[in-house]
Homo-oligomer: A and B are copies of this chain.
Amino acid sequence: MFLAKVFITYKESILDPKGEAVKKAIHQLDYQSVESVRMGKYFEIEVNESDLSQVEKIIESISDQLLANVIMESYRYEIEEA
């Protein structure tokens, strides 16, 4: 069994309006030293396979097809044994 953690964020060139809104709210709490906020999605996925390379293939396929909009978003992932 493996646990994959997938992080999805807008690409650098894409405006992140939710992140901007959160930054404004943080500034209203008076934390002026917060310079930027980017908001994304986070997935924890348990995969019942014995082979790490198979898990990587599944996670990349799922991320490309389902989790991320690859036109606007990029993803990265970490896999650990669980």
**Residues of chain A at the chain B interface (Cβ within 8 Å):** 1, 7-9, 19, 22, 25-26, 29, 31, 33-49, 58, 61-62, 65-67
Determine whether the beta carbon of B42 is less than 8 Å from that of A8: yes
Q: This chain: how many copies in the complex? A: 2
Q: Which residues of B contact A48 (CB under 8 A)?
A: 33-35
A45 CB contact (under 8 Å) in B37, B44, B61: B37
Determine whether the beta carbon of A43 is less than 8 Å from that of B47: no
Q: What are 10 A-B pairs with beta-carbon distances under 8 A?
A: A7-B42, A9-B44, A25-B66, A26-B62, A34-B48, A37-B43, A37-B44, A39-B41, A39-B42, A40-B43
CB distance from A73 to the nearest CB of B (A): 11
